[in-house]
Amino acid sequence: MRVGVIGSGYVGLTTAACLAHLGHEVVAADLDSDRVARLNKGDIPILEEGMPKLVADGLASRRLRFVVGAANAARDAELIFICVATPQGDDGAADLSFVEIAAREIAPVLSPGAVVINKSTMPVGSTRFVQRVLHETAGGQLDRVTVASNPEFLREGQAVRDFLNPDRIVIGCDDPEAAVKVGDLYRSVRAPVIVTDPASAEMIKYASNAFLATKISFINAIANLCEEVDADVREVALGMGYDPRIGFQFLHPGPGYGGSCFPKDTSALLYTAQTHGYDFGLLKGVIDVNRNQYDRTVAKIRSAAGGSFEGRVVGAWGLTFKADTDDMRDSPALHILRQVMAEGATVRAYDPAAGEQAENQLPGVVACQDAYEAANGSDVLAVLTEWDEFRWKDFDRILSSMRSASIVDARNLLDPAALRRRGFKYVGIGR
Ligand code: UDX
């Protein structure tokens, strides 16, 4: 099928590359001409396993190409995915202005019978909103154009795998014929397909992310309580997880959830609840626990530094919002380190993937080339992202290079007994 993809960020690029891999002819658009030029050369601007190969294969087979401008991707396409950013507005609501711009740009060029598909996370009502914008813009010239919701459930770092092996495919559309067309795109993918109305499809996405965020805040709250009662949250999570109704996933305590989805989507869902007069206290609690988790982590580092950050050096391992991505959007590490620096500490940070972003995101940080350099001369070493390489460092070398041997492990990544044996003071989460 001929597919247009509007927006070549994480979601758009994954959608475009994977649909080309499935045999469709895909034209993906972006506003940024440099990005488009890079992508057409197979130069991938994000860290995503499997993506370079998929894009290279797509370009070589001519089933994938990148263009500047939404209209150029939508023209001639049977199905058009809207994959632009829906950032969080000041009031917590999702900002649909990029969606509206995209819809206005494609409206005049849509072919008869085209299906426009909302792929980005958009609040309930967005399918109808896009339909309205298209009709307004085209001024009655739209011929059998339908809008559907087909939310993504992609984890960064595993987006290609998640796209090609999804747990489910959700299609929200009032027009059964259009829903079948969207379903046909995924014919070679094995997964249950849920065809429903647009509002339910949109809610499925928000409810799924909010539920996962709830699991994380729940285990973080239990971890905090474990610290008070001398229990070990890892044992607790293990014991809980064997119950298949609970499961093991998303029960890892940490410095709080971050990234481009959970913080934004939980706020947007809360906003939806508020605007509809529903007091979603549970979700408010989830967000509060998450914010407190940043503060609790700062307090642990402060306490390990002797009660104050004045004149102290904090070594930080990890800046991205989780391992195996180079994404630092809404990263707990950044929230935590900004506070640590505001209170007077010097921060020496290392992240395997953050690159030059570190200095932009944390002005004044000492950006280090490796984990040893970050630990060197520090009073406390804080582990903020669960990069696997941190487990395998030479901790004797680290011990002798630190000013004082204290580790705050906000991801429960390291082995406390082994570190204490070496002479470190170790503080984890809920253990
Ligand atoms: C998430 C959803 O998983 C995905 O389905 C959705 O479409 C987009 O949002 P992503 O943001 O890439 O994906 O990351 P995810 O792996 O879900 O982690 C989100 C945050 O939660 C990270 O900061 C991570 O460190 C944290 N987390 C995750 C925990 O603290 N504990 C856990 O047990 C799991």
3-state secondary structure 175-196: CHHHHHHHHHHCCCCCCCEEEE
Q: Is residue 212 included in any domain, yes or no?
A: no
Handedness of CA 105, 181, 196, 88 (dihedral sign): negative
Residue 11 CA, ligand 1 centroid: distance in Å? 15
Q: Which residues, 6+ apart, have CB-to-CB distance to 32 below 8 Å? A: 68
Ligand 1 touching residue 387 (CB < 6 A) = no
Most ligand 1 atoms within 8 A of CB, residue of 262, 287, 293, 296 to mutate:
262
DSSP 94: B
Let me know whether 325 and 267 are in one domain: yes
Query: How many distinct structural domains can be found in the chain?
Result: 2
- Domain span holding position 181: 2-196
Instruction: For residue 327, give the ligand 1 atom closest to its CA.
Output: 12
Which residue has a Cα nearest atom 32 of ligand 1? 250
Using the 3D structure, point to which of 146, 178, 196 is the last residue of a domain: 196
C-alpha 257 to ligand 1 mean position (Å): 7
pTM: 0.96
Query: Is the residue at 222 inside a domain?
Result: no
CB distance 324 to ligand 1 below 6 Å: no
Same domain membership, residue 350 and residue 395: yes
Residue 111, pLDDT score: 96
Determine, yes or no, domain membership for 13. Answer: yes
Which CATH number does the domain housing residue 181 bear?
3.40.50.720
- Residue 237, domain member (yes or no): yes
Cβ atoms of 272 and 258 closer than 8 Å? no
Residue at which a domain ends, from 147, 172, 196: 196
Closest C-alpha to ligand 1, atom 9? 261
Sign of CA dihedral 253, 257, 259, 265: positive
Is the CB–ligand 1 distance for residue 262 below 6 Å?
yes
Active site residue 83: no
* Nearest atom, ligand 1, residue 331 CA: 23
End-of-domain residue from the set 196, 218, 242:
196
Residues in a beta bridge with 316: 349, 382
Measured from the CB, is residue 289 less than 6 Å from ligand 1? no
Within a domain: 367 = yes
**Catalytic: which of 18, 226, 261, 368?**
261
How many A from CA of 420 to the centre of ligand 1? Answer: 30
Ligand 1 atom closest to Cα of 385?
Answer: 25
88 and 10 both lie in a single domain: yes
Query: Does 297 fall in a domain?
Result: yes
Contact 229, 427 (CB under 8 A): no
CB 204 less than 6 A from any atom of ligand 1: no
411 CB within 6 A, ligand 1: no
pLDDT reported for residue 140: 81
User: Within this chain, do residues 304 and 401 fall inside the same structural domain, yes or no?
Assistant: yes
CB-count exposure of residue 42 (10 Å: 0-12, 13-18, 19+): middle
| Residue 176 shares a structural domain with residue 277 | no
In a domain, 206, yes or no: no
177 in the same domain as 270: no
Please give the chain's pLDDT, 431 residues, in tens. 999 999 999 999 999 999 999 999 999 999 999 999 999 999 999 999 999 999 999 999 999 999 999 999 999 999 999 999 999 899 989 999 999 999 999 999 999 999 999 999 999 999 999 999 999 999 888 989 999 999 999 999 999 999 999 999 999 999 999 999 999 999 999 999 999 999 999 999 999 999 999 999 999 999 999 999 999 999 999 999 999 999 999 999 999 999 999 999 999 999 999 999 999 999 999 999 999 999 999 999 999 999 999 999 999 999 999 999 999 999 999 999 999 999 999 999 999 998 888 999 999 999 999 999 999 999 999 999 999 999 999 999 999 999 999 999 999 999 999 999 999 999 999 99
Burial of 411 (0-12, 13-18, 19+ CB in 10 A): buried
For residues 266 and 166, membership in a common domain is answered with: no
At 56, the amino acid letter reads A
Say if residue 283 is in the same domain as residue 415.
yes
pLDDT at 141: 85
Binning the chain into helix, strand and coil, the percentages to the nearest 5 are: 45, 15, 40
Query: What's the CA-to-centroid distance between 286 and ligand 1, angstroms?
Result: 14
**The predicted structure's pLDDT at residue 356:** 86
Question: Whose CA is closest to atom 27 on ligand 1?
Answer: 257
